[in-house]
Amino acid sequence: MTTIDVDGEAMPIRPALAEALEVAWQRLASPGTWWTGAERLAIATECRHASACSLCKARKGDLSPYARTGDHDAATDLLPEAVEAIHRLTTDASRITSRWVRELSDGPLGEERYVEIVGIAATITALDTFDRALGRPMRPLPAPIPGAPTRHRPRGARRDLAAVATLAPEAIEAGDPNPYPLHGDKNIHRALSLVPQEVVNFFDLDVELYLKDHEIRDFAIEPRAITHRQIELVAARASALNRCYY
Amino acid sequence: MLIAFVEAVIDGDADPTSARRALRHALGDAALVDAAATVASFNAVVKVADGTGIPLEPWKAERTADIRAALAIDDLRSHDT
């Protein structure tokens, strides 16, 4: 039986979930498509730090989330535009607008690096939320794995669906990684497809946290220790608290 | 019980200890782990949607129009601005 340590006790955990968690931690530390392993960990560090930022706290209370200017309390030496992206994704994501995304994407940060930040922010949020939910201490970030980013932008990516460019399944060209065979090609999978590896990174983890696409509406089997109804109750409440429109 | 657990985990200022204990007592260890995993998923995937402005698929929007209107879910979308 695979177990996870919770306050000195060994709790049972599905082997596939345990493996997906470990893979996700390692991928956070690995060279990405547009950021090095050290930079990806800096992004994760900044995500963890954002809730203590005084500018973010003030903005969170503002009726108009884009009116207040100022400097973030940064924990890293990442570009100011990267810190702005990370902090808002972490502290006030539900009020992000397409205009804000495009301004960041079209500026010094660049669209590809912005999309990879979104993937990293989502991944570290998932990992830290899982540990918090179980009462486990926040896990120290792993050591960075050396190497250079691959820097490959899919040639078929277009800004025609979302605030960022995405790669439609029918637009994948020779030499472009196909991020869709394993987890599907619904819009939520397309969201990060400007950086195909981030689709794979996030959904390899997410399908073990939640359900694989084909399991979601297969009510003949219960692949988890809680039922479909219980899973969807948890999902619906979490989504409502996060003001998720999707 | 599940709702209390989700709310305590997502509220960063809350202490989820008692909600976690109640859930574990009622449903067991494996259920607690899978409930924790589900919260983690839905606390994270929202960043992907909000961060990219990806729209709902038209077929999904059509099928869920009634419930989305009743719950004012479409009002949560800020990406049109």
Sorted by where each begins, the domain ranges of chain B are 2-76
Asked if the C-beta of A143 comes within 8 angstroms of chain B's C-beta atoms, the answer is no
CB atoms within 10 A of CB A147: 11
Q: Are A162 and B39 an interchain contact pair (Cβ–Cβ within 8 Å)?
A: no
- The whole-number average pLDDT for the span B10-16 is 93
Residue-level pLDDT at B63: 82
Residue-level pLDDT at B68: 77
Query: Is the pLDDT at B81 greater than 60, yes or no?
Result: no
Residue-level pLDDT at A202: 98
Q: Are A231 and B34 an interchain contact pair (Cβ–Cβ within 8 Å)?
A: yes
Q: B71 to chain A nearest CA, in Å?
A: 10
Cα distances from B12 to residues A39, A90, A92, in angstroms, run 26, 12, 13
Give the angle A44-B6-A212 at the CA atoms, nearest 5°.
70
Residue with tokens 């090609």: A185
Question: Distance from first CA to last CA of chain B, Å, rounded?
Answer: 38
Q: What phi and psi, each to the nearest 5 degrees, are found at residue B2?
A: -65, -40
Mutate to test the interface with B, among A86, A95, A216, A246 (most CBs of B within 10 A): A246
Query: Is the pLDDT at B16 greater than 90, yes or no?
Result: yes
8 Å CB contact between A164 and A194: yes
Residue-level pLDDT at B78: 66
Q: Are B50 and A206 an interchain contact pair (Cβ–Cβ within 8 Å)?
A: no
Residue-range domain boundaries for chain A = 3-147
8 Å CB contact between B33 and B23: no
Q: Are A130 and B12 an interchain contact pair (Cβ–Cβ within 8 Å)?
A: no
Q: Tokens at residue B59, please? A: 């077929």
Residue-level pLDDT at B65: 77
pLDDT, one tens digit per residue, over B35-67 is 999 999 999 999 999 999 999 888 887 887 787
Q: What's the rounded Cα separation, in Å, for the pair A153 and B24? A: 46
Residue-level pLDDT at A245: 75
In chain A (246 residues long), the average pLDDT of successive 10-residue segments reads 91 97 98 98 98 94 89 94 97 94 96 98 98 97 98 96 96 93 95 98 98 91 95 95 84
Residue-level pLDDT at A234: 97
User: Considering only alpha carbons, which residue of chain A is nearest residue B11?
Assistant: A241
Q: Are A244 and B76 an interchain contact pair (Cβ–Cβ within 8 Å)?
A: yes
For A9, the enclosing helix (H) or strand (E) is strand A9-12
Q: What's the sign of the alpha-carbon dihedral A126, A128, A131, A132?
A: negative
Residue-level pLDDT at B10: 96
Residue-level pLDDT at B77: 66
Counting Cβ atoms within 10 Å, is residue B69 exposed (0-12), middle (13-18) or buried (19+)? exposed
Mutate to test the interface with B, among A195, A232, A234 (most CBs of B within 10 A): A234
Q: What's the rounded Cα separation, in Å, for the pair A24 and A123? A: 7
Q: What's the rounded Cα separation, in Å, for the pair A187 and A191? A: 6
For B29, the enclosing helix (H) or strand (E) is helix B29-52
